Amino acid sequence: MKNIKLLLLIFATGLFLLASCQSTKLKTNDLSYEYGETYRPLVHFSPPAKWMNDPNGLVFFEGEYHLFYQYYPDAMVWGPMHWGHAVSTDLVHWQNLPIALYPDSLGYIFSGSAVIDINNTSGLGKPGKPAMIAIFCYHSPVLEKAGKDNYQTQGMAYSLDKGRTWTKYAGNPILPNPGMRDFRDPKVSWNAEIKKWIMTLATGDCVSFYSSPNLKKWTFESKFGKNEGAHGGVWECPDLIKMPVKNVKGELKWVLLVSVNPGGPNGGSATQYFTGSFDGHRFTSDNVKTRWIDYGKDNYAGVTYSGIPQNDGRCLMIGWMSNWQYAAAVPTTPWRSAMTFPRQLNLEKGKDEYYITSNPVEEIERLHERKATIKPFEIKDKTELTKQIPFELSPIEVIADFELPKTGASSEFGFELYNSKNENIIVAYNNTSKNFIINRENSGKNDFSKDFKGIQLSGEMKTDSIISIHLIIDMASVELFGQLGKVSMTDIFFPNEPFKDLRVYSKNGIVKCKGLTIYKLNNIWKH
Ligand code: FRU
């Protein structure tokens, strides 16, 4: 009898443990969310639940775009970092996959990159089966608590089944810490000139470059940036890319993306870029002023895809659509944060400098569900558009061209999306100061952070008389691509009621809307 009781107790305990394991599993990695909650992005990637920040390990392999991301599966605020994982075959529809990388005794898994080791330089692949290799920063909370400076090191993990399962490399860390508090965010790419891998690493107030023949042993090459660019905060998430100059046949140039937090053009975190040259060892910039990938408040830690096939050749970037100033306080549940719409970056040569243009990837066309075309018209004050658009206003894509007359031209014009509570989000062009504006002063909930409310301005534009505005508007975000992508601005917002009405306005004069097309976009989670 005693034995039976004991057996029953063991059985019951077992059942309890199993059940609690199951519920933790569900809580931490439930992929079955409906994606229909208030503020849930419908054309942007967001995790099913819990906290997300930077995109990591962006890599294309065998028909799939991988999106790994900084993920804390146990809370809606930042915590011990994992790599969450999703894949897409078209950059717009995403399939959530189980967590790829978990913290281990060396630390949390901070930001990093992924490559396909086609030539098996690491020896971790198998014949005909190149390894997908993730190179990331280990952040040791133990060393940090012990007051040491060397708590960030670089580690590596590999997968032989298209990123579905991962093995940490036994020789980790692959790059120990030389005694710097900020030593993170490795972005690795193959350098064809020196036939080595180059690692771009964020090291406080500069970027450090390392090289390696096999991804396992790294040699310091050089540093860049202590006295260049914006330094309002620490440098993070660098990315070195070789890009063709779109309007100069045969010319290639190097571009270095560097995120900085804080110190962005409109406060908080943002991403700057440098154009220049890289000889396999050292980067030299030709910037004359600081330049930004995005002037809005909500595009940070953006990096580009590796492994894009040569016959495609596009430079594709995804950023984190939030800002460290308030990311942990935004009023969404049960998740926090989304990614920007994937963007194609191009490098162009202007009169005095090379510059980057950003535009939504052309795959956005796959989401076009309905179309409203509005005939050219003149705007003197306000023109309501809602009645001419036979569908709901989010998510939508807006493509418009405006022409400013030589005399009597408007001093500011743009779009106002609004609701019956008198809340709005305004995207406009100021023709006096010559910059684009996103105004979310009155866009709904904003008391969760003193840094949220406000008006964002782009840098000054040298524009002609035609102003082009291209918008992606989701349930809680707007992305502006102005002047065919010469300016981009990304902002999130949280109205107390969805924005159902749209008008265009002009102040102190006239502007002509030459063409206006609005697409209703399909919900990417319902297909
Ligand atoms: C950038 C960043 C990285 C770091 C990660 C931690 O947003 O601070 O520098 O690796 O987030 O989650």
Tokens representing 41 are 């992005």
Atom of ligand 1 nearest to the CA of 70: 12
pLDDT, tens digit (0-9, with 9 covering 90-100), for 450-472 = 999 999 999 998 777 899 999 99
pLDDT reading at 21 higher than 60: no
Q: What's the sign of the alpha-carbon dihedral 341, 494, 491, 394?
A: positive
Spacing, Cα 301 to ligand 1 middle (Å): 8
- The reply to whether ligand 1 has any atom less than 6 angstroms from the CB of 208 is no
Q: 54, 117, 294, 298: which one is catalytic? A: 54
Compare 341 and 17 and report the one with higher pLDDT: 341
Element (H, E) at 21: helix 2-29
Backbone angles phi, psi at 367, to 5 degrees: -95, -5
Backbone angles phi, psi at 37, to 5 degrees: -75, 165
pLDDT reading at 6 higher than 80: no
Which strands, in side-by-side order, build the sheet including 435-439? 382-384, 501-507, 412-418, 424-430, 435-439, 455-457
Strand, helix or coil for residue 419 = coil
Say which amino acid occupies 56: N
How many distinct helices (H) and strands (E) make up the chain?
A: 2, 35
In whole angstroms, what is the distance from residue 162 CA to residue 116 CA? 10
- pTM higher than 0.85 for the full model? yes
Residue 4: predicted pLDDT: 52
Spacing, Cα 62 to ligand 1 middle (Å): 28
Residue 29: predicted pLDDT: 46
- The reply to whether ligand 1 has any atom less than 6 angstroms from the CB of 137 is yes
Atom of ligand 1 nearest to the CA of 259: 1
β-bridge pairing 354-360 and 343-349: antiparallel
Residue 465: predicted pLDDT: 84
Residue nearest to atom 8 of ligand 1 (CA): 236
pLDDT, tens digit (0-9, with 9 covering 90-100), for 73-122 = 999 999 999 999 999 999 999 999 999 999 999 999 999 999 999 999 99
Backbone angles phi, psi at 12, to 5 degrees: -65, -45
- The reply to whether ligand 1 has any atom less than 6 angstroms from the CB of 185 is yes
In whole angstroms, what is the distance from residue 470 CA to residue 485 CA? 8
- The reply to whether ligand 1 has any atom less than 6 angstroms from the CB of 299 is no
In whole angstroms, what is the distance from residue 422 CA to residue 442 CA? 8
In whole angstroms, what is the distance from residue 100 CA to residue 58 CA? 13
Residue 31: predicted pLDDT: 60
Q: Mean pLDDT, the chain, as a whole number?
A: 94
β-bridge pairing 50-61 and 335-336: parallel
Atom of ligand 1 nearest to the CA of 269: 7
Is the CB of residue 258 less than 8 Å from the CB of residue 207? yes
pLDDT reading at 521 higher than 70: yes
- The reply to whether ligand 1 has any atom less than 6 angstroms from the CB of 337 is no
Phi-psi region of 4 (alpha: psi -120 to 50; beta: other; left: phi over 0): alpha
pLDDT, tens digit (0-9, with 9 covering 90-100), for 177-211 = 999 999 999 999 999 999 999 999 999 999 999 99
Task: Tell me the three-class secondary structure of 488-519, residue by residue.
Answer: EEEEECCCCCCCCEEEEEEECCEEEEEEEEEE
Which strands, in side-by-side order, build the sheet including 354-360? 300-304, 315-320, 343-349, 354-360
Residue 30: predicted pLDDT: 54
Residue 18: predicted pLDDT: 40
Average pLDDT over residues 360-367: 98
pLDDT reading at 25 higher than 50: no
Spacing, Cα 455 to ligand 1 middle (Å): 26
pLDDT, tens digit (0-9, with 9 covering 90-100), for 489-519 = 999 999 999 999 999 999 999 999 999 999 9
Atom of ligand 1 nearest to the CA of 54: 7
Tokens representing 61 are 């392999």
pLDDT reading at 24 higher than 50: no
Known catalytic membership, residue 54: yes
In the chain, % of residues over pLDDT 90: 91
Average pLDDT over residues 468-491: 98
Is the CB of residue 78 less than 8 Å from the CB of residue 71? no
In whole angstroms, what is the distance from residue 476 CA to residue 423 CA? 13
Residue 49: predicted pLDDT: 95
Strand, helix or coil for residue 135 = strand
Question: What letter would DSSP give residue 363?
Answer: G
Q: Is the bond preceding residue 395 a cis peptide, omega within 30 degrees?
A: yes
Q: How confident is the model at residue 250 (pLDDT cuts 50, 70, 90)?
A: very high
In whole angstroms, what is the distance from residue 74 CA to residue 26 CA? 11
